[in-house]
Structures are given as C-alpha cells and as structure tokens.
Amino acid sequence: MIDLPRSGQILPKALSLSDVNRLLSPPAITSPLMHRDTAMLFLLYSTGLRVSELVNLPLAACNLSSCFVRVFGKGNKERLIPFGIQAKEKIETYIAHGRLAILNGKRSNFLFVTARGTAMTRLRFWQIIRRMATAAGITKDISPHMIRHSFATHLLAHGADLRSVQLMLGHADIATTQIYTHIDQDRLKSIHRKFHPRG
C-alpha cells in the first residue's frame, strides 16, 4: 500500500547549436563516400528522421523539387517531412557525384547506397557519425538518435509549435514530443524572465 518513489525523468541528449555547426562543416569532400555521408548527415538534422528511416529511404521518396521526404514510420504510418536548402544541395551533389560511383554499375532503389547496392546498416551509419564527430573535434559520445533529438530541441527553441514537431517526428502521442520542452533550460529561463511579473 506504500507508494514507491518516482524515478526522475530521463531527458534525451541533444547537441548544442555550435556542435551541430561544427559537425555540418566537414573538411573538403574528396570521395563519393564522403558525398554520401555528408548528405545523410544534413538530411538527418534537417528532418529528424529515425536512423532506420534514413538508411532505408527509397530514392523515389525524396522529392528534391519540393524539398520533402515521404516516410513510413512506426505502425507503417506515412508522413511528409520538409527539409532545407542546404540538405537539398548536399543530396543533389551526392546524386550527381557520388551515388553512381558507389554503385559502380549496380542498380538500387535506395537513396543512400553501399558498394553492394544495398541499404546501409544502422551500426555502420553510427560508426560514420562517430568518425565525423571526431573529425569535427566533438568529444561527447554521439549517435544518430542524438541528431534527431537535436532537430526537435532546436526547432522548439526557435519557436516551432509542439504539434508540428510531433508530426515531423512521427510521434503517436504528443506527450512523447513534450519531453523536448524540458531540455532547453536557457529558453525556459528567458521565457520566465520575460513573462513573469516578478521575473
């Protein structure tokens, strides 16, 4: 009959804007694989895709003219997610200078391909992210899911509404998205100072 103590809420870890900027400023791209990896990273941060959605994204699901990706997430639910001009440019460059070179005559329906013509594994992309983070001088333990958390956190910090972020992330319950409102402590403090009569 005794209530157990509640464990604290575990907040998702997100990168700072300065870390993201460093991560998205790679050294000179010198190979088709670097074109692919950079395009994947830009699209991941621009859309907040789950890593499984990113690595399995069909070529036909990416509409470069309107800057949208069409994704079937958990429960096979479809959603359309916009992406920015920088991600578009990186994908166009990868398609023009990387994808065919990686395939080397093979055919594939996936946007981001391996030399076998198959989709990349989640583990392989995690390894790529870590290598790129190390090259950018980021020492914290980074993962593709941390990029997704950063996408949501930064959108909310810059004024995006919770419902829109929920739709882009593909969360069934808005309470799952709401956790990101607790991450940006500086923003919460500034809101308190601005609107509280004794702030």
Instruction: Give catalytic residues, as residue numbers.
Output: 50, 74, 145, 148, 171, 180
Are the C-beta atoms of 110 and 58 separated by less than 8 Å? Answer: yes
Q: Which long-range contacts (CB under 8 A, 24 or more apart) does 151-154 make?
A: 151/44, 151/45, 151/46, 151/47, 151/48, 152/14, 152/48, 152/177, 152/180, 153/12, 153/14, 153/180, 153/183, 153/184, 154/14, 154/17, 154/20
Backbone angles phi, psi at 27, to 5 degrees: -65, 175
What three-state secondary structure class fits 68? strand
On whether the CB atoms of residues 11 and 150 are closer than 8 A, the answer is no
Distance CA 8, CA 133 (A): 29
Strand partners, 78: 72
157's tokens: 């910090």
